[in-house]
Amino acid sequence: MPFRYHFLLLVSAILISSSERVEAQAFNKIYEDVSQSLVIYLTEDEQFYYSIGYSENFGAPELGFALRTIDKKTGEVVRFLYHTIPDSWMFHGRCKKVVHLGTKMYFVYKVFDTIYIYEYDKATYKLSVLDTIVHNDNPVFTWDIQHINNKMLVTYEYLDQNDSIQAKIFEIDQFGNKKTFDIKTKEETIQLAGLIRELSPGKLVATGNWSNQDANNLKMRIVIMVMDTSYNVISEWWTPIQDNAFTVADVIILNEDEILAMLQLRNYDYIFESGAFPHFVYRINLKDRKVLWKKNFTLPESRYTTSLGALTKGNQEDTYFMCSSTYAKDIKKLDSIVTVGRVVKFWSNGNVIWQRDYMFTKEGIQLENNFNNMIATMDGHYLIGGETVHNGASKAWLVKINENGHILGDTTSSVQWEKEDWKNYITIYPNPVSDVLYINQEDISEVEYSLSDMTGKEVANYAGTVAFQSTVWDISHLVEGQYLLTIHRRGKIIGSTKIIKAGSR
């Protein structure tokens, strides 16, 4: 009996260890299977993650999209589909949503005067066009796709022959019946369409935009409307004119009366000395028509212009996430600009739990990094999609993080610290390493990392100038062998370790 007991313990330990090793594998992928790419749409089912974004075909001038089916454990692409429409440029508009119905998923792209509603069958791997919205020779712009009350809804607008913008809702039911509705409010004419969500049974919430069209004194407002299922406006709330609200990036329904809305506001960029559109998060009570709070989670001193980003409900109760892009915190002038992906975790009252910046660096060059979309995953983590840009080439980037914002992976650090406390502020992994080192800095800044070969010659370095940042340090260009990693802060060595560089995967 004791032997059997210890044997079962040993088997359990092996199984747990094996599970932890799978879970511990770092999930950070830069996809280089097409010449230019980024992630816009991000979704999952029980088996796979799916990412969809622009891709430029090799040797061809047109822009299409790549649909990747991704292994949930490793991040490896198990299926790849490239699609383009000849001689046309495709655009996602502001839409980042994917609708799942059985084995099929749906998303939209626009091509000048046509919006395509794509259907992808995950069982047969077949991509087809469910329907199109066509306005001949009139540019269109798509905003959202949702499945509500057994109907597919697409919000969009087009520029008519009189240069007047018409905001619309396109509806197609399960039998293929189609209708189009104007988006109207009680106060103003909507000039841009927006997002649409189910607020509660029988009620929808939709967004729109109005501007005064005066280029010398541009004023913009956002309207958030409560509608019935026939798209009649029941009530509406407008942003104050002084907010200069430009568009809505995302909406989360909190309850029948309240929402979180991620808005872009027109602000002043003190570095570029021009206008920019940073993201603000609002908590809005639609019943009382008032803002409970609003927060700018990007950088106050310099406001990066980014059109994409997302709100995500957290896996923990009453927690929410926002992803966006911003300037790195230490940016003070034009010749040192670095953009980073920003993730903020916050309570529903707007109080920040943590915020962290993410960047990819290669051969001493800090790249441009953008986050476009983020989802809470079924395994209790979070998947972020965006791109890194180096020398004009954009590569799709997927990063998976945990509740604390650390890139998922084995955070066991082998560093020998000069003071025991340093290990609470910096983690570096893995070791051995094949392609990239992961560096998590907590509340610590002005840190420099140097890799030297066994002769003492420095072969790579990275400066972690700001706190609360996760860095993906690409050292795949180094040859296999042993290296010494030395960590300095303000001119003093605070830690070191021997790094084994294995062959690149």
- Output DSSP code: residue 89: B
What band does 430 get if pLDDT is binned at 50, 70 and 90?
A: confident
What band does 115 get if pLDDT is binned at 50, 70 and 90?
A: very high
What band does 184 get if pLDDT is binned at 50, 70 and 90?
A: confident
> What are 330-363's pLDDT values in tens digits?
655 555 677 889 999 999 999 999 999 998 888 7
* CATH 2.130.10.10 domain span(s) along the chain: 31-401
pLDDT attached to residue 263? 92
| Residue 168 CB contacts under 8 Å (≥ 6 apart), including other chains | 155, 156, 157, 158, 180, 181, 182, 183, 193
The two three-digit tokens of residue 125, written as one number:
């791997």
- pLDDT at residue 314 tops 90: yes
Mean pLDDT, residues 451-466? 89
Say how many C-beta atoms besides its own lie within 10 A of residue 139's C-beta. Answer: 12
Decide: 117 and 130 in contact? Cβ < 8 Å: yes
Say how many C-beta atoms besides its own lie within 10 A of residue 90's C-beta. Answer: 18
Q: Which CATH superfamily is domain 31-401 in?
A: YVTN repeat-like/Quinoprotein amine dehydrogenase (2.130.10.10)
Mean pLDDT, residues 15-40? 61
- pLDDT at residue 23 tops 50: no
Decide: 108 and 117 in contact? Cβ < 8 Å: yes
Mean pLDDT, residues 163-168? 85
Q: Within 13 A of 372's CA, how many CA atoms are on the CB side?
A: 26
* CATH 2.60.40.3080 domain span(s) along the chain: 416-501
- pLDDT at residue 380 tops 90: yes
The two three-digit tokens of residue 94, written as one number:
């502001």
> What are 394-404's pLDDT values in tens digits?
889 999 999 99
> What are 188-211's pLDDT values in tens digits?
667 778 899 999 999 999 998 877
What band does 212 get if pLDDT is binned at 50, 70 and 90?
A: low
Q: The CATH number of 416-501 is which of 3.30.420.40, 3.40.640.10, 1.20.1630.10, 2.60.40.3080? A: 2.60.40.3080
What band does 308 get if pLDDT is binned at 50, 70 and 90?
A: confident
The CA-CA-CA angle for residues 367, 94, 155, to 5°, reads 170
| Residue 185 CB contacts under 8 Å (≥ 6 apart), including other chains | 208, 223, 225, 233, 236
Residue with more model confidence, 21 or 458: 458
Nearest to 144 by CA among 134, 154, 136: 154
> What are 227-265's pLDDT values in tens digits?
999 999 999 999 998 898 888 999 999 999 999 999 988
Exposed e or buried b per residue across 489-504, where buried means at least 16 C-beta atoms within 10 angstroms of its C-beta: beeeebbbbebebeee
